[in-house]
Amino acid sequence: MRTRVVVLGLALLGLVAAANAQAPSASAPAGRSAMARAARRPSTATTFVVQFKIKPGQNAAFEAAFRRWAAKVRANEPGNRSYELYRNGQPQTYVVVERYENPAAVAAHGRDMRGVMSGLRDMLDGPPTAQSLTLVSSK
């Protein structure tokens, strides 16, 4: 159980580290390898797509937990531009799309969200995966 909490915590911290993936849209499981890459490269990514697979029967609990943690992001992270939960058409799969003003805001999010994953551990069916995106152009 303790190992699972540590793995889930590393997955969340991996979101920040995923900003440092070699390719701007590289997709990889969030976790220790992403964190190792973070130590070697400066961060440029400001948008993340994070996929969560939820155990059957845990949808309502996960959605409620997301609403609580999204409220915390809105209240405590002025550099966050959007933090939205989607379903991808599969009943047990959710996608969070989060966008930040700059790499410093990404780092602040990583600090603020420590401990969130421990509250989700019983709901998840495996570790989340994260894809980092670096803005190239916008309207």
Would you list the domain boundaries of the chain?
A: 2-133
For residue 42, the model assigns a pLDDT of 55
Helix (H, G, I), strand (E, B) or coil at 133: strand
Overall pTM surpassing 0.85 (yes/no): no
Q: Residue 71: left (phi > 0), alpha (psi -120 to 50), or beta?
A: alpha
For residue 16, the model assigns a pLDDT of 36
Which residues does 115 contact at the CB level (< 8 Å), separation at least 6?
A: 9
Q: Which residue has the tokens 């999010």?
A: 109
Q: Which residue has the tokens 């070699």?
A: 22
Give the pLDDT confidence of 63-72 residue by residue, as tens digits: 999 999 899 8
Residue ranges in the chain modelled with pLDDT below 50: 1-41
Question: Domain 2-133 maps to which CATH number in 2.60.40.10, 3.30.565.10, 3.30.70.100, 3.40.228.10?
Answer: 3.30.70.100
For residue 8, the model assigns a pLDDT of 34
8 A C-beta contact, residue 54 and residue 123: yes
Name the β-bridge partners of 83: 98
Give the pLDDT confidence of 2-17 residue by residue, as tens digits: 333 333 333 443 443 3
8 A C-beta contact, residue 117 and residue 9: yes
Of 47, 120, 110, the closest CA to residue 77 belongs to 110
